[in-house]
Amino acid sequence: MVASEQTLLTSQQLDTLSINTIRTLAMDAVQKANSGHPGAPMALAPVAYTLWQNFLRYDPQDPLWPNRDRFVLSNGHASMLLYALLHLTGVREVNSKYEVLDELAVKLEDIEKFRQIDSKCPGHPEYHLTSGVETTTGPLGQGVGNSVGMAMAGKWLAQYFNRPGFELFNYNVYAFCGDGDMMEGISSEAASLAAHLKLSNLCWVYDNNHITIEGDTDLAFNEDVGARFEGYGWNVTHVHDANDLNALSKAYNFFLDSDSGPTLIIVDSHIAFGSPHKQDTKEAHGEALGEEEVRLTKKVYGWPENAHFLIPDGVRENFHQGIGKRGRELRQSWQKLFANYGKQYPQFADHLNSMLRRELPDGWDKNLPTFPSDAKGPATRESSGKVLNVLAQNIPWLIGGAADLYPSTKTRLTFDGAGDFEANNYSGRNLHFGIREHAMGAIVNGMSLSKLRAYGSTFLIFSDYMRAPIRLASLMEIPVIHVFTHDSIGLGEDGPTHQPVEQLPSLRAIPGLVDLRPGDANEVVEAWKVIMQLQHKEALLVLTRQSVPTLDRTKYASAAGVAKGAYILADAPDGKPEVILIASGSELSLCVGAYEQLKTEGIKARVVSMPSWELFQHQSEEYRHSVFPVQVKARVAVEQAAKMGWAQYVGSTGKVIGMETFGSSAPLKDLLKKFGFTPEKVVEAAKESISLSKQSNN
């Protein structure tokens, strides 16, 4: 039934009309694009409608309202479900300055350009592209992992900011997910931790439709998901018909009434297409339905069969009277509360405002250590731990932890009051992820999306377990911090299974990721300064297990050059070197040793410390050429990692001392000798490069 006057429709008819509008927008968008997934949005339309219209605490006029409920579409292939909701509820556009604009985040013409170049409606939801999208999803399982981080952030924010009479934070997190999410291992990791932490503000809605790309889930998946989640410690309820709005409402109320832990709502869905064949297959997954099937399905809905992108009279008004009115009243009430809060607790109000704008508080860098020169020196993981503890005292919303490795990664906050983030005690700053690296990456992303400065840590080799969330954080342009230690064959006797070789070069290939591998303790300080000032870039801090010399900065250049990615640490007396020695991390001291040896032989060398390729590549061409003069073709790069990528800096006559094989299980000194990481080998390579460069000039 499509009516022209809202007054002619009952509440039940408006519900049906609104749900079918979501469905037909999805069908039309996918059909016009000839690409996409219409089935999931159509099946989940009543589930999402009930949540948004009757339960979600969200104001479309202010999608940045800090205490809004979060909606995560983990099954991101159902993106048209979200785009339709953003359009129909009137969610506003937000610019890069966090200003809410008087225009729609998703216009109807955006939906008409679904999956097309430069559209606000790409194939999967993207956080930085479309206002109202809380996180970028698509790789299955990532969204539910993010939702755990958002729920954890909500609990911490309540503990830090709430005061008697001022409940600033009490939001809930809803994540829609499907069979694919449940099969991915990350969902098990994230669900296990969520239950352990008793995150009562977290609700997953599982679309139990038994369909994946290959066909029926019986091909590979027949476990009892409800029993699995009950085993974790979740509250579980079941809705046997996705079209039963009353049952859906009871399920959402079941979640709201549960305070013992997270909730899983299992929803059985079945898509009724126009033709019997489509009804039998349940889902046209990953392809348009076809014009005839769209026409027949619209006929089933009582829809004008030849209408495209139709939004009947009364639908927008219905949403405005539901989520729009409720959300506006809740947000305005919160703003009044916050205004009074600011009068009584001005410091905390300032903290919240700074945090929401990703700004740092005054004095964020006070009391940072300066490390004296020391031939033995601390491991960079050790100096990093000291710097982190100072920063965390200065920045109250700097929070994080490790995947069961903080004694090794030195990421535990040890100052008075830091505490542990635990079930029913959410004020702690130390997070314990357990041996769940993949979930840790996604959870830290979720916390960052909630505007906390969040970090996670493990060994560099285990970054392989969390590549998807690392990549997505960079895609979302959020300032997540990864602290990866045990960065090379310097790990020693644990052997090649634990010695990263290809990890650092491959991580550098991720666009926008700021890599930082400091060479001594004072470079660690400068690296953390860079990291904390990032607002829209993810950072990767790569640290040693073994001790490294702390360089004498009265003899060599200031470590402040770290901010430029690469800088001249030591130079020829006349500034005209015959050879340039380049290194990151622990290998920097090898180049310094080689530099001093070459000097005694009358060979003029320059040492370039290069802790960050990403930062250096964003410097001016003039600066880059001042560090690497084009006329100096003799160059040697030294790094305990695969050689990939160094050719761009050493050229055809340069040499790279790196890894061409996996490492080995042996004491460090034996490994360094075996693989050529000694000052003598650097000197030898320098001379060879000088010889090659002279030959090329002749």
Q: Which residues are catalytic?
A: 437
Q: How far apart are CA 289 and CA 267, in angstroms?
A: 24
Do strands 202-208 and 211-212 pair parallel, antiparallel, or not at all (unpaired)?
A: unpaired
Contacting residues for 300 by C-beta, under 8 A, at least 6 apart: 272, 273, 274
Residues pairing with 431 in the sheet: 401
Do residues 545 and 379 touch, judged by C-beta distance below 8 A?
Answer: yes
Measure the CA angle with vertex 601, ends 597 and 602; round to 5°.
Answer: 115
Tokens of 358: 């990703």
Judged by phi (left if over 0) then psi (alpha if -120 to 50, else beta), residue 377 lies in: left
Q: How far apart are CA 30 and CA 77, in angstroms?
A: 11
Q: How far from 463 is each of 158, 404, 500, CA to CA, in Å?
A: 31, 14, 9
Do residues 517 and 490 touch, judged by C-beta distance below 8 A?
Answer: no
Question: By C-alpha distance, which of 470, 472, 588, 586 is closest to 539?
Answer: 470
With 0-12 CB in 10 A as exposed, 13-18 as middle and 19+ as buried, what is 129? middle
Place of tokens 């392989």: 464
Q: Is the dihedral of CA 300, 302, 308, 314 positive or negative?
A: negative
Provide the 10 A C-beta neighbour count for residue 365.
16
Q: How far from 105 is each of 93, 134, 142, 164, 547, CA to CA, in Å?
A: 4, 13, 24, 36, 52
- Please give the full DSSP string across 289-314, using - where no structure is assigned: --HHHHHHHHHHTT--TT--S---TT
Contacting residues for 584 by C-beta, under 8 A, at least 6 apart: 517, 519, 609, 610, 611, 639
Tokens of 75: 């099954």
Place of tokens 């993106």: 79
Q: How far apart are CA 583 and CA 595, in angstroms?
A: 12
Q: Which SS3 state, helix, strand or coil, does residue 119 take? A: coil
Q: Is the dihedral of CA 564, 532, 448, 483 positive or negative?
A: positive
Amino acid at 461: I
Tokens of 96: 């890069």
Q: How far apart are CA 38 and CA 23, in angstroms?
A: 8
Exposed e or buried b for every residue in 208-237, given b needs 16+ CB within 10 A?
bbbbbeeeebeeeeeeebbebbeebbbbbb
Q: How far from 535 is each of 364, 370, 451, 477, CA to CA, in Å?
A: 15, 25, 10, 8
With 0-12 CB in 10 A as exposed, 13-18 as middle and 19+ as buried, what is 238? middle
Q: How far apart are CA 195 and CA 176, in angstroms?
A: 18
- Please give the full DSSP string across 528-543, using - where no structure is assigned: HHHHHH-SS--EEEE-
Tokens of 534: 């990032």
Do residues 614 and 515 touch, judged by C-beta distance below 8 A?
Answer: yes
The three-state (H, E, C) secondary structure of 561-630, written as one string: HHHHCCEEEECCCCCCCCEEEEECHHHHHHHHHHHHHHHHCCCCEEEEECCCHHHHHCCCHHHHHHHCCC
